[in-house]
Copies of this chain bind each other. A is one copy, B any other.
């Protein structure tokens, strides 16, 4: 076994952190490391937490860590930051908020930023999760702002998905619930002391009553969580959340659904890897030649269209491959 892999499997925080950073930076060696490390993954339970900005996901993650640590579970946390194609880094806030766990060797928190590559964030998140799995973490929490397709791709890495809603987010969030319904295993109505919380709960309940998924075995529970500034109630509520997630885990194992999810996850991972594997050599074959630039100019002047250009590039590349 490779020395680095061995150390990461032994829980080496420094080397694991470096590998995650290398994944993020798309350093080619990182891919080779993940390949070697893959055999030691697949044993952690992965919880996804998603919801709109301001829904209180980080505070909930923090509370979940506290709950799970009481049961002596080791934990990895991956906070995925969708804004960072710009900032080039991760949201500092997440780390700051989780700092009270920073001294706990049983908790490993990392943030992940994308740098704008196609399909890159979901793949990088998947690989970062693999690193944490290899480290032997019992539970991995992936936190992401869940709105777009890409965030949903990320959340598909999880076994159990918690969707966090808050009252009073306007009617646009309401129309989204139909979509969230498909991915949620557990609903949280957060800031449940606010006006509109009861109504949100009722709406979710009636949607669940109509849902075929809810009828087919697992009915996603709705956990009401009060204000974090009332510590006693909040601790009680988040303990309930941890309990519901555990129940879902048991359900997945007993029903055989866990295998089904793992299979779906494997299919998504092939797709991600395939996309990178195909696009990278083509783009690098063009890099530096100025060819891409002149194609872009043709497109801009409407002397060519993007599809014909892509076909031309692809044909050329395939021909070159054939001569090898």
Contact = CB atoms under 8 A, between A and B. Distances in A.
Interface of A: 31, 34-35, 38-42, 52-58, 82-87, 91-93, 114, 116, 118-119, 121, 145, 147-152, 169-173, 175-176, 178-183, 259, 262-263, 265-267, 269-279, 282-283, 292, 295-297, 299-300, 302, 304-311, 313-314, 318, 321-324
Copies of this chain present: 2
B306 A172 contact: no
Contact of A53 (B40, B147, B178, B282): B147
19 contacts: A42-B300, A54-B169, A82-B179, A83-B180, A86-B181, A118-B118, A118-B119, A118-B275, A119-B119, A147-B148, A149-B150, A266-B306, A267-B292, A270-B306, A274-B314, A275-B275, A277-B314, A318-B322, A322-B323
A35 B176 contact: no
A270 B309 CA distance: 7
Q: Interface majority SS on A: helix, strand, loop or mixed? A: helix
B172 A54 contact: yes
A256 to B, nearest CB: 13
B310 A83 contact: no
Interface core residue of A84, A183, A266 (most chain B CB under 10 Å): A266
A152 B53 CA distance: 16
